[in-house]
Every structure is written in structure tokens, then in C-alpha cells.
Structure 1
Amino acid sequence: MSAVYSVKEIYIYPIKSLAGISCQNALAEEMGFENDRRWMLIDAEDQMITQREHRIMSQFYPQISDGKISITFQDQKHEFSIEEHLENSIAVNVWDDKSEVIEVNKSTSKWFSQHLGFECKLVKIIKNGDRKHESSKLKETFNVSLADGYPYLMIGSQSLDFLNEKLTDKITVLRFRPNIVISSQSPHEEDDFTTFKIGEVQFKNIKPCGRCIMVNNDPDNGKLKKEPLKTLSKYRNVNNSVLFGTNIVSLNSGIINVGDEIVI
């Protein structure tokens, strides 16, 4: 009989590289959870902006309520409607993938420009298919959002516990920006999942997630640390890629909840 796994935590990140939102439930869609990384900041040359270069982005905190997204940064707040956007599309790249996006509005772009200290725009991916990502491993193409690669990142609780046993300063799972945290039985067993169900939603595991320097950004204060990448590289380095968590896709839509059992 299979071990029992369940959903411990759910997170969405409405704007790429900004702080996330903890949820009790979320609508799983092909592109990722509803409102997850549907927005992104781009610079004056229409290049994506992330925490890798601008760690202060972790200090912008979004909330969703009544059809609006509000962003809090220090003692400043700004909000815009989930549905609003301008008309002209912009061609951008998310790593090697081309995507069509549209600016939300001029006042929101101005607000972010003022607080980041350089010209930028907040843009939105509008519809399924505006960005496609090819899996070199599976030779399949997926409709995705503005996440780095795949729509969902899943992490097992034992993977984090095992890492924290090796760290002097313990960290939370927020370092890794997961969408789904599950109660697991042993470290990194989620890497070997194939297909599984959470509620009525069928998921498919694509591949373990290779991590970058961004996991060393402390989300509490935006400061760059030496860990956990230094420790992870000692035992999770596979073909020069440091692995933590696994990339998954959903094969149908539906609501998943904290506490839902995972059926493998």
C-alpha cells in the first residue's frame, strides 16, 4: 500500500519575483494556479526583471481581494484590477521562450519605476498559449505562464527538514518559492513521482528543479546569504545542476486544497 501524502501548503506568486501569497485552496489550470505569475516586470528594453539582479523585489508584498491586486512596499501601497490591461502587445522573452504580454496601465508601471529606481513596466500574459515551453526531456510543449519554466513547483516536507539538519541557520520553504508543499516520507522522494492526483486534478512530474543563486535571497529582508546553495551543492549536485523540488504540470483543471490527499 502506498504511503499517504497530503498537501501542507499552497502558494501563488502573482507577479514574477515578488513575494508570494499563502492560500488555503487554489484553482489549478494548465498555465499554473489561477493568478500565479500572470504578471511580470520588464525594463526599458523589454527584458524581464527578477530577484537575481534586484533582490529588493522580495520586499514587495501582493494581496488579492475583490478582483484587485494590491502591492505593499515599505509604507507605500498600490492596487490595480486583475482584469485591466492596455491594448498593444509586447514581445518578450522568458529565458528561451517567446511570449506575448500587455502592459497593465501607465500608473502602475510608474509606481514600480519610482520604487525600484529605474524605468520599468508591469505586463500581463493574457491567454493560454501566449507562451509555450518545450520540455527537452519529454519532447513535449506546454502552455505556461511567466514562471521560469514549468507551471508548478512541488517540494516535500522531508526535503526541507533534511536540508535544515545540515544548516546552522534554519530556513523556511519560502526560499524555494514552491506552489505545493506536501507532507512526505523521505527526502526528495517527490523527484521520482510520475503521475498523481490531488483532489480531482491529475498532475504529471516533469523533472527535478535546478536551482540558482535566487534561493540565497532571504525573503525576510532581501539580503543575499551564502546558504542554502552552498550546502545543497554538496549533496544535490547532479550534472552541474543543484536540484531541489520538482517541476510538475496539471493535466486538467480543478480546485486543490490544503489537506487534500495525494494519490499516486
Structure 2
Amino acid sequence: MPILSQIFIYPIKSLAGIQLPAWEVDNNGLRYDRKWMLVDGQGQFLSQRRLPKMALIKPRMERDSLILSAPGQRDFEISLHPSGGGELAVEIWRDRCLARTVSSAADDWFGTALQTDCSLVYLPDDQIRQVDQRYALAEDQTAFSDGFPFLLVSENSLNALNRLLQTPVSILRFRPNLVLADCESFAEDAWRRIKINDIEFRLPKPCSRCSVPGIDPETALSAKEPLATLNRMRRWDNHIYFGQNALHDRPGQLAVGDRVDILAYGEKQPPLS
């Protein structure tokens, strides 16, 4: 029987994540997950694809604050419950939505850390970003994730990859929200519906990977692996796949050790052996 072995949130899109023993699930996914985002002067989202040093900025939560640390800078604090700020139209891939700015002090801090002009924005509670309707229900929503509120990966899928690598990589390369143990490698490819602690999840689409897994989260340096090996073992229809996108049917609570019930199976996505 699979179990939930790790939980991660990424409060600011494309920065380092926070590992948690238990966490609340709200309408957008894991609470605070990608509630904030950095954008350029045109409102386009910024990520490690363009600025690998984003990986070196690490958040932590203390009471009602998110504390940010970056090499060579003093820590910076923002509220976990932002309000106000100027309205700003932002773009994530093909999606456009209205965000609000955090502060000029935040923009200056991140500008120094990343050596680029940027603005920190958050998704206000009254804004709903709908999930791609090709894969979702009308009520499905997310914050500033690439497209889905959850990314799910199994430990043994990573183990299968690492057995082919000269230098193993950590699960952090793949930025999952939910990591599962006690299942076969890539078993998640055939899961269509699962339940964890009374929250049902739909797995409509595998996750196609970009260049980010090639960035070492501890150094921000890029390398050919693990993408070169993934290209040999997990390539289909001109994309590399690792992990499954997921949607949830209701809010609730998740904790490490929760049992994972498989409610429905389907054809493997991607269709690889």
C-alpha cells in the first residue's frame, strides 16, 4: 500500500521549497504553495529557466511571516497574509490574471539577489485562476503553479532514474508537492484517481519536464544530467516526462505517513513500458 512520504510547498514560484510533516489543502492546493511570484517589467513570470540563481533563495515560515534568505544578503520578511498593493496584470505561460504587488522594498531585495529588475506579486484571495479546461473541471483552480495545483512523484521512480546515473540526484530537482513511497517505480503513470486522507485526487496528465531538473538546487549550476538519461528512458512525443500532475476534489489535511488508496487505473501516461 503506497504512503505519502514527503510534502513540499514552494511559496514563491521557482524559489527553493519548504518540506513539511503535515499541511493544509485549500481550494488552490497546498496552502501558500506558489501564492507569490516574481515578474519582469512586462508582467511575465520569472523562473529558474531564465534565472538559475532563484534556486539559491530559500524561504522559511515563522509565525505569520515568510523569511527569505539569499547568499550575501540580510534576510527579508514578508507577511503570510498580504493585503493591498497595486494591481498588476501578469502572465504565466498562456494564462493571464490579476495579481497585486507586495512592496518596493521586496522588489529591491530580489533585484539585488538576482541582479535583475523584477517585482514580487501575490495572488489575492478574490482572484481565481482556472486550470486548463482540457484536463480539469470548471471549479478546479490553482495559484501561480505552471498549470496544476499538485505535482506527484514516487520515490521508486527517482530510484529507477538514479540507478542509471553516475551521480544520483535528489527529489528536489523535480520540485514535487507530494512524494509517495511503497509503490513500484512509475506506478503513478497508470493511476487516474487516488485518495489520501479523504481527499480525492485526479491525475489527468503526466508532467513534461523543462531544463530545471538540470539545475543543482544547492549551487544553481546546470549540467546535462539527469535530463540526458531521462531523455533516453522517459521520452515520448518529443517531451520528457517525470511525475504526474494532479487535481483535488476538496480541501482537507495531509500528513506524512497517510495511506494512499488507488481508486482508478487507466492507460499509462506517458505510454512507456
Offset at 1:33?
0.3
Give 1:109's aligned residue: 107
Does the CA contact (< 8 Å) of 2:130 and 2:138 recur in 1?
no
- More displaced, 196-205 or 18-27? 196-205
What are the residue-to-residue correspondences of 1:88-167 with 2, within 5 Å? Answer: 88-127=86-125, 129-137=127-135, 142-167=140-165
Instruction: Please give the alpha-carbon distance, in whole angstroms, between the structure 1 residues aligned to 2:138 and 2:188.
Output: 21
Q: 1:222 aligns with which of 210, 217, 220?
A: 220
Once the two structures are TM-superposed, the CA of residue 204 in structure 1 deviates from its matched residue by 1.1
SS at the partner of 1:191? helix
Q: Distance in 1 between matches of 2:182 and 2:206?
A: 16
Query: Which one of the candidate residues 170, 175, 178 is aligned to 2:176?
Result: 178
Rounded Cα–Cα distance in structure 2 between residues aligned with 1:125 and 1:213:
26
Residue number in structure 2 paired with 1:251? 249
**Who is 1:234 aligned against?**
232
Q: 1:31 & 1:251 partners in 2: Cα distance? A: 11
Q: Which residue of 35, 40, 43 corresponds with 1:38?
A: 35
Aligned-pair Cα RMSD in Å: 1.4
CA contact (8 A) 1:55 1:222 kept: yes
**Aligned positions of 1:182-197 closer than 5 A:** 182-197=180-195
Q: Secondary structure at the match of 1:58?
A: helix
The alignment partner of 1:8 has SS state of: strand
Work out whether 1:50 is the aligned partner of 2:47: yes
For the residues of structure 2 that align with 1:196 and 1:161, how far apart are their CA atoms? 22
Amino acid at match of 2:191: F
1:23 maps to 20
Aligned 8 A contact 2:130 2:140 in 1: yes
The runs of 4+ residues in structure 1 deviating greater than 3 Å are 137-141
How much does 1:201 deviate? 1.3
With normalisation by structure 1, the TM-score equals: 0.95
Q: CA deviation at 1:6?
A: 0.2
Paired positions, count: 261
Q: Report the alpha carbon displacement of residue 86 of structure 1 after superposing the two structures with TM.
A: 3.1
Cα drift, residue 192 of structure 1: 1.4
SS at match of 1:203: strand
Counterpart code for 1:50: S
1:91-127 per-position Cα deviation (integer Å, ceiling 9, x unaligned)? 1111011111101112111111122112111000112
Aligned to 1:61: 58
Q: 1:79 aligns with which of 67, 74, 77?
A: 77
Q: How big is each residue's C-alpha offset from its partner over 1:208-252, in whole Å with a ceiling of 9 and x where there is no partner?
A: 100011110000110001011110111211111110000001101
Q: Contact conserved, 1:100 with 1:131, CA < 8 A, in 2? A: no
The equivalent of 2:271 in structure 1 is none
* Residue 62 to residue 253, structure 1, CA distance change in 2 (3 Å): same
Cα 1:135–1:225 shift into 2, 3 Å: farther
> Residue type of the partner of 1:10?
I
Q: Which runs of 5+ in 1 are unaligned?
A: none
Range with bigger deviation, 122-131 or 41-50: 122-131
Structure 2 unmatched runs, 5+: 263-273
| Alpha-carbon shift at residue 256 of structure 1 (Å) | 0.3
